[in-house]
Amino acid sequence: MALAAILWCVLALLLTALLAPAMGRSGTARQVVYVTCLAASGIALAFAASRLLASGASDEFLRLPLGIPWIGANFRIDVLAAFFLVVVNLGAAAASVYGLGYGRHEAAPHRVLPFFPVFLATMNLVVLAADAFTFLLSWESMSLASWALVMAHHRVPDNARAGYVYLVMAGFSGLALLLCFACQAAHSQALGTPPGKAARPQSSPPLGNDLRGGGGAKRETHHRDALGNQCLAVEPLARPHVANPKVYDHVLVLDNQCLKSIKTRACYTESDQCVEADVPGLTRQDVILGISSMIKFFSYELYEF
């Protein structure tokens, strides 16, 4: 809920950036741009704060059919992301209020108004990005938008020099991030990986607190994409408890790679202990099938409706 709402706010900011040049030097352009930025930042701030204060809320994940075809554009919000979204949008709202008054004295508003909403939108996307491509694209777009704002008064020598230094540093940081992700991808054999989280190699046991579970599986598949591939990917995991590592949650990670929602029913093999879940389109959801002491491996049955 919070993730989708914040992404809608990002879309509103990007559309405002597209409309700003069309409004040109009209007297209402400043009010429209800064008021829209204030409203979008305020709404995003409210949803981020509600997610930050929600106790026990699970992470939200959303995949959009954009970017690299086999990866898409992946976004995630957790408690840490919610905290930084509160910081980003609180500052964005304050800057929008300040811009309503300060913008009256701007000699060249057409050099500022299109880039201000882009800068706010891309700052949110940097925090929400959950794969390397989306993160780098958001980061570089944020850097270019902020450089354009610095160069709004490019005829002032100090501004021009500051813009040049900023562009050099932004390019260096982009190359450093690209090198970081390239090293990570070489190790994990995947680019569709959240920043700072290496994907698990397929040829070796997974690292960290998630251990492969599932001794066998029975599937009933009713949902396929246009190419005939299964919409729902399933990964069984045995996740140890923090307080007692000998106690495991038997988890099924359900990854819906199609647009339509899929209703599922997961059970232990030949058991009446079942869990039902509704997996929205282009989202990934964890389903806890049960809890066991000392037993990592389990077999399950999964039914789609």
* pLDDT number for residue 112: 81
Same domain, 8 and 81: yes
205 part of a folded domain:
no
* pLDDT number for residue 85: 95
* pLDDT number for residue 12: 93
Same domain, 32 and 180: yes
Q: Which residue range is the domain that position 97 belongs to?
A: 2-188
Same domain, 169 and 237: no
User: In CATH, what number is assigned to the domain containing residue 230?
Assistant: 2.60.40
Same domain, 116 and 169: yes
Same domain, 276 and 152: no
* pLDDT number for residue 117: 92
Same domain, 181 and 216: no
Residues 6+ apart with CB under 8 A from 240: 209, 211, 246, 247, 248, 249
* pLDDT number for residue 185: 62
Q: Report if pTM > 0.75.
A: no
Same domain, 180 and 237: no
Residues 6+ apart with CB under 8 A from 4: 60, 62
Same domain, 68 and 181: yes
194 part of a folded domain:
no
Same domain, 174 and 76: yes
Question: Per-residue pLDDT tens for 207-228?
Answer: 334 444 555 577 777 788 766 7
Structural domain tally of the chain? 2
Same domain, 173 and 282: no
197 part of a folded domain:
no
CA distance 193 to 68: 13
Among 154, 188, 222, the domain boundary falls at 188
CA distance 263 to 276: 7
How is residue 204 written in tokens?
């070796």
* pLDDT number for residue 272: 86
Same domain, 29 and 168: yes
Residues with pLDDT less than 70, the chain = 24-27, 56, 184-216, 226-227
